[in-house]
Amino acid sequence: MNTSILNEQDYYRIVYGGWLGKNIGGTLGAPVEGEKKLLELSFYPELPDGPLENDDLDLQLVWLHALEQYGPGLTARELGQEWLEHIFFPFDEYGYALTNLRRGLLAPVVGWFNNPFNNCMGSPIRSEIWAMAAPGAPETAAHYAYQDAIVDHAGGEGVYGEMFFAALESAIFFEKDRDRLIEIGMSYIPEDCRTAKALKDLLRWHQEGKSWTESRLLILEHHGSDNFTDAPQNIAFTILGWLYGEDFEDAILKAVNCGYDTDCTAATLGAILGMLLGPEGLPAKWVKPVGDRVVVSPPIKGFPAPKNLDELTRRTIRIGKQILAAWDTGIIVHPDFPTSWNRLEAAGETDKRIRELWERKVTSNLYLLPQGTKSCPDAELFIDFGTDGPAIGVGQRKVLQFTLTNRSLTPIYGNIALELPSGWEGPTPLEISLQPDESFQWDTEILAGAAAAASHELAFRWTRSHDHAVWAVQKVTFALVSSSRWIVWGPDGGAEKEIYVPGNRVEWEKALGLNSAQLPADGVYRAQTTLTNPIERKLRLIAAANSPVTLKLNGQIVIECNETLEFMPAYHRAPQEQWVELTLEAGSHQVEVEAIRNGCPPEVYILPVALQDTTSPGSYYYYTDILLG
């Protein structure tokens, strides 16, 4: 193995500079987050008490805690647990992922299922911790970034954005050339993903001599989205600031003045430049107002957050030494020897490892057996839930696919079975035997019982035999959530049709046997379901739509939006015209929805969420005990 040396003082200044730059950029951009116009910022807003709190840094403090708690073997499974324990944000993909986690789902399914925000910026902003904990090892940083991103962005551009930034930032420890760093980052994402296309176009426009404002407009024209948090456009704005910026100040100002997700673009570019320049290279004008304090948002809680950037840096380095050793990187952090890089990779090796991550199915979860295994398992189990995801309706049938692979060095035999909730029906146990590296695929149908619940626990049971006697039993538990039953009508006023919807979106196209683009005609689309609320409570009921929409509750109109607004099915920022706050009695309530198609297929999400004021920080969370259908 080729050994590289990272001097510990160099390690400290790069990491400290990165965290300082992150604080600077996040504080600059936070007050104008969501502004879609060309901005004219020249400095911070007034800062009476240091840096502003920002989820760009908040979440990475939790990930540092996760690394300290679980060690270098950290995976998406443990990161999901960290969300449940310490993160109470309702924002966009965060809210949907937390809802799925609370129902018992696991990554990557938890980040893909019923999530309209998996193309957004929530994960690309969390890249620095992985780069700093895997200094000079971009393949390792990209691996951790993938594990992180699939918890709330699986199947979307958010995954690629985080892998891109993590690899680029990790490479800063051995490479300082801007263009080469961008090239390294792009090698860790698919060439045909939206993020890569936006970056390639931006690089071309820059080389052609387009001004930064011209490039901004071209990004919006070719890669833009109405949702200001969409990842490809904001990642391009981040790199735009770097390409066109003459120095640190000019770069972060150009990035933030592009508008849109301004705290994210400025914070990430600030971190990149802070890592390159070190704290001594950052202008005192920008450093002094933020100082070295670490500020944590109130909904991030229950763990020992670092008090300042020095503590954050030292804790990052401490876990980084463990990761470099555990991953056999050949990189040694030394207190005295000078930094000396000697990186030689086998051709195509990194490509193969990373490509495997890109190609993993988001409809299935992988379990290593025995459970708790991090590597070199005796067996692997894939559970594939299919295109409708881990959902099933009352009295409905569903096919699940189980693939068990023997990864041990000896033949195994026994039986596989499913343990189902009371009143459900499923297959009888099946005898199997597997040679080393042999797989068995079991496609089996189950029938749900009559009881509805937020989620149902099932278990795959593997009973291994030895000498014709039962030797050991392993159970893998998993969850299915309840689908919603809707009665829908098309615009022709024809016969009603029954559908079961796996998430919160009313799927008229499903009832008509079409895809959404094929919905046949303009007009009024109607849908009806039953909402069951277990206790009286105050709540916000949302009917987020891309068209005029009306919602009736028990025959009374409570939402009437007569115009087409930006489609925003978020718990905390749906248009005001598309939600109502009320006290809802315990029991069953009839919900009727009308959406008007006018050239665009209607999309409507029905979302019962908490109010802003809660007894503990963490508002607008989804009420998982309220059932639709």
Q: What is the pLDDT of residues 358-402, one digit of tens each?
A: 999 999 999 999 999 988 999 999 999 999 999 999 999 999 999
Q: Quick: pLDDT tens for 435-450.
A: 999 999 999 999 999 9
Please state whether the predicted TM-score (pTM) of the whole model is above 0.75: yes
Q: Residue 202 carries which side chain, given as an amino acid letter?
A: L
User: Is the pLDDT reported for residue 622 higher than 80?
Assistant: yes
CB-based contacts of 36-39 (< 8 A; 24+ apart in sequence): 36/228, 36/259, 36/260, 37/259, 38/213, 38/216, 38/257, 38/258, 38/259, 39/256, 39/257, 39/258, 39/259, 39/262
User: Is the pLDDT reported for residue 346 higher than 60?
Assistant: no
Beta strands 379-384 and 587-597, pairing class: unpaired
Q: Are 117 and 93 in contact (CB under 8 A)?
A: yes
Is 3.60.20.10 the CATH classification of the domain at 363-482?
no
Q: What is the reported pLDDT for 349?
A: 54
Q: What is the reported pLDDT for 139?
A: 96
Q: Is 263 annotated as a binding residue?
A: yes
Residue 243, CA distances (Å) to 288, 410, 411 in order: 26, 56, 57
For residue 68 the two structure tokens come to 């300290």
Q: Are 508 and 602 in contact (CB under 8 A)?
A: yes
What confidence category does residue 520 fall into, taking pLDDT thresholds of 50, 70 and 90? Answer: low
Q: What is the reported pLDDT for 348?
A: 46
Residue 296, CA distances (Å) to 53, 156, 226, 250, 562 in order: 6, 28, 29, 28, 40
Residue 384, CA distances (Å) to 99, 375, 400, 415, 523 in order: 20, 21, 6, 19, 37
Residue with token string 């555990």: 326
Residue with token string 């594990």: 147
Residue with token string 């149908």: 445
Q: What is the reported pLDDT for 347?
A: 42
Domains 4-354 and 484-628 share a fold: no
Indicate the angle between helix axes 157-171 and 138-153, nearest 10 degrees. 160
List the chain domain ranges. Answer: 4-354, 363-482, 484-628
Distance CA(390)–CA(285), nearest Å, equals: 52
User: Is the pLDDT reported for residue 13 higher than 50?
Assistant: yes
**Which whole number is the average pLDDT over 209-232?**
98
Distance CA(14)–CA(19), nearest Å, equals: 9
**Which whole number is the average pLDDT over 507-519?**
73
Average pLDDT of the chain, as a whole number: 95
User: Is the pLDDT reported for residue 490 higher than 90?
Assistant: no
Q: What is the reported pLDDT for 2?
A: 84
Q: What is the reported pLDDT for 47?
A: 87
Residue with token string 């920008």: 286
Distance CA(323)–CA(72), nearest Å, equals: 5
Q: What is the DSSP code (8-state) at residue 326?
A: H
Residue among 483, 209, 110, 189 at smallest CA distance from 357: 189
Q: Quick: pLDDT tens for 266-298.
A: 999 999 999 999 999 999 999 999 999 999 999
Q: What is the reported pLDDT for 524?
A: 93
Q: Quick: pLDDT tens for 586-602.
A: 999 999 999 998 888 89
Distance CA(232)–CA(196), nearest Å, equals: 8
Q: Residue 571 carries which side chain, given as an amino acid letter?
A: Y
- SS3 of 35, please? coil
For residue 235 the two structure tokens come to 């990642």
User: What CATH architecture applies to the domain 4-354?
Assistant: Orthogonal Bundle (1.10)
Q: Are 514 and 425 in contact (CB under 8 A)?
A: no
Q: Are 252 and 274 in contact (CB under 8 A)?
A: no
Q: What is the reported pLDDT for 363?
A: 98
Q: Quick: pLDDT tens for 92-126.
A: 999 999 999 999 999 999 999 999 999 999 999 99
Indicate the angle between helix axes 55-70 and 262-277, nearest 10 degrees. 60
Q: What is the reported pLDDT for 1?
A: 63
Beta strands 455-466 and 412-419, pairing class: antiparallel
Element (H, E) at 511: helix 508-512
What confidence category does residue 517 fall into, taking pLDDT thresholds of 50, 70 and 90? Answer: low
What CATH code would you report for 484-628?
2.60.120.380
- SS3 of 562, please? coil
Give strand pairing partners of 505.
Answer: 605
User: Is the pLDDT reported for residue 426 higher than 80?
Assistant: yes
